[in-house]
Structure 1
Amino acid sequence: MKKNYCNILRLTLLFCIGFVFQLQAQTEKSLLWKISGNGLEKDSYVFGTIHMICPDQFLMNEEIKGAFTGTEQLVLELDMDDPELQQKMQAVSINSGMKNIQGEMKEEQSKALDQFLTQNYGAGLAQMGILKPFVLTSMVLMKQLPCDQMESYEFFFTQMAQQQGKEILGLEDVAFQVGIFDQIPLNIQLEELGKMVTTDESMKEFQTTVEAYVAQDLDKLYQTISDNPMTGNFSEILLDQRNENWIPVMKKQMEEKSTFFAVGSGHLAGQKGVLNLLKEAGYTLSPVN
């Protein structure tokens, strides 16, 4: 249970932040993009991930593996092989002052969440309620997936990098990502969490998102996610500011070594997306199909 809990925490931030998309119409259907030009001696790549997916929908082909193998280092949103990552995530997953969110939720949603957690994790809100909403959101989703096991691109690439002896780096740290959620009102986070266990809206949206991801259809991803309240009200802090912060970091990393970047697909497209920002910085972006 401890190992499973740690894996949940590792994916929690990645999923919750990566789940919000702000995409504009794209003509190219590709999750893998080559970065070249602007003085780079070797090509780098950026790949758009989805942080939770069933094994039969896990996209992996020779083009992706070849691009990965041809680079010298892996950069994820978080440094997944940081030996202190587990400890750091556990430390930030608890509400301030061990506050339990059970009394903050609508009664119907609180009861439904308590029942869900008890049935799936063996402990209800009396115990689990001290976890931050984004942690609980991730835990709920993982049990709602239509498969017993799930795949993670972050874990997959981390294992490949370790096998190939490549350095693994992160664009952000855990404390920064948690700080993003601290800027979103608690009532909004709890409302979204409550809907997950009282309606099928979130699961339908996620299933449609997965279908669009597998099709590498950024247009459909935009249509699916654009009405999400988090997108409209908090996209600037969830995506835009972070994308802008990443560009100078990516530039430095690519100049030092050819790099394989793997970040949530929601960060790729749009006027303030990573692809466009890299183009504005002088790089050539080419889809790899």
Structure 2
Amino acid sequence: MNRLFLITFFFVLSFSSVFSQQNLEKSILWEIQGNGLKSPSYLLGTFHMVCVADLKLQEKVEKAIQDVDQIVLEVNLTDPKEMENLQELMFSSVSLSSQLNEAEQVELKELLLEKYNISLTTVDYLAPIGLMGLMAMKVIPCEVKGYDMEVLEVGVRQNKRIGGLEHFKDQVEITSSFYTAKEILTQLKLEDDFEENYHHMATAFQQEDIEALYQSATDPLFMSEEGKVKLLDDRNEKWIIQMVDQMPEQATLFAVGAGHLAGEKGVIQLLRDQGFTVTAVLK
């Protein structure tokens, strides 16, 4: 269960990783200037489930961390209450089986035993995000760590102020609103597709190829139109309000899922709409 919690922790964050296609340069780091800012701030696209063996911050990212006063993540991972809340949010007061008909319950029992070697009784009260984390745990055999966690650790060592744009509770409530029990059953059957999709996205992130990442991340097998609106557009607009307020006061590195960067309502475009100059940092 400890590994499931860890995978679920990163999986919650990974729901942020889809976006609309744009012709953007290959970079996960973008500099924010202009509009009265005394010092530049930065926008960093992260990937939340990176194999530890492949995880290394680029020099340009390390320099950006040094140059800012604070680091703001999607969720302030230095806040113990956030981690406590996530453990509670992994479970539901309503059982999964009670939301399925008899035939679906039988199918789910067989699926869990065959593919995941676990009984329905064991996971019946896991929240949707916990069950999706179960699938991620199965298809990602390596030890994983979030790119944002690496950024956070470097920032803490440099005594940077750490903040967050939202709470785990917000993210879990959003995903639970459109992942029904029947949808979870469908998703759990897509293990092979999920594994292939994950590897495509991981490779694209390592290459900083956000267009290729888009092709995999917006696969309709895994994300509905409703999900994209709730997970991306609505949250981006809320985040922009905070970003615009914070940047004049302190040079900030905003580290969020790479999926939030692009698109008509992506963070890059929303910042430009506010009058900021946002440019790719290539080296």
Structure 2 partner of 1:7: 6
Whether the 8 Å CA contact 1:40–1:254 is kept in 2: the answer is yes
- Judged with a 3 Å threshold, the aligned counterparts in structure 2 of structure 1 residues 236 and 201 are, in CA distance, closer, same or farther, namely same
2:241 is equivalent to residue 248 of structure 1:
yes
- When structure 1 is superposed on structure 2, of 223-232 and 252-261 the one drifting more is 223-232
Residue among 104, 125, 129 paired with 1:134 = 129
Q: What are the superposed Cα offsets for residues 23-45 of structure 1, whole Å, 9 maximum, x if unpaired? A: 21324110000111111111111
Report the counterpart of residue 220 of structure 1 in structure 2.
Answer: 212
The 1-side partners of 2:50 and 2:97 are apart by: 28
Match of 1:81 among 73, 78, 82: 78
Work out the CA distance in 2 between the residues paired with 1:113 and 1:235: 28
Is the contact made by 1:115 and 1:124 (CA closer than 8 Å) also made in structure 2? Answer: no
Post-superposition, which runs of at least 4 consecutive aligned residues in structure 1 deviate over 4 A?
none
User: 1:26, 1:218 within 8 Å by CA — same for their partners in 2?
Assistant: no
Provide the residue aligned with 2:54 in structure 1: 57
- Counterpart CA distance in 2 for 1:194 and 1:204 is 14
CA offset digits 1:116-170 (Å, max 9, x no partner):
444xxxx5331222111211212321332242x1221122122112211112111
Q: 1:7 corresponds to which letter in structure 2?
A: L
Give the aligned residue type for 1:112. Answer: L
SS of the counterpart of 1:171? strand
Aligned match of 1:32: 29
Provide, for residues 195-244 of structure 1, a one-character-per-residue CA deviation record: whole Å limited to 9, x for no partner. 244xx111111111112111211221222233325243321111101001
Letter in 1 for 2:245: K
Counterparts of 2:161 and 2:9 in 1: how far apart (Å)?
19
Q: Classify the secondary structure of the residue corresponding to 1:24.
A: coil
Gapped regions of structure 2 (runs ≥ 5): none
How has the CA–CA distance of structure 1 residues 35 and 188 changed in structure 2, closer, same or farther, with 3 Å as cutoff? farther
Identity %: 32
1:269 aligns with 2:266: no
* 1:168 corresponds to: 162
TM-score by length of 2: 0.89
* Structure 1 gap ranges (5+): none
Q: Larger deviation: 103-112 or 175-184?
A: 103-112
SS of the equivalent of 2:173 reads: helix
List per-residue Cα deviations over 1:53-102 (Å, max 9, x = no partner). 113433521111011111111111111010212211122221134x2448
State the aligned residue count.
Answer: 278
Paired AA for residue 211 in structure 1: T
- Matching residue's letter, 1:275: I
RMSD: 2.2
* Other-structure match for 1:210: 202
Matched residues in 2 for 1:40 and 1:188: separation?
A: 49
3-state secondary structure, aligned to 1:130: coil
User: Which residue matches 2:147?
Assistant: 153
In the TM superposition, 1:172-191 aligns within 5 A as: 172-187=166-181, 189-191=183-185
Partner of 1:112: 111
Q: Does 1:23 align with 2:20?
A: yes
In structure 2, the CA distance between the partners of 1:110 and 1:264, relative to structure 1 (3 Å rule), is farther
CA contact (8 A) 1:22 1:231 kept: no
Q: Secondary structure at the match of 1:213?
A: helix
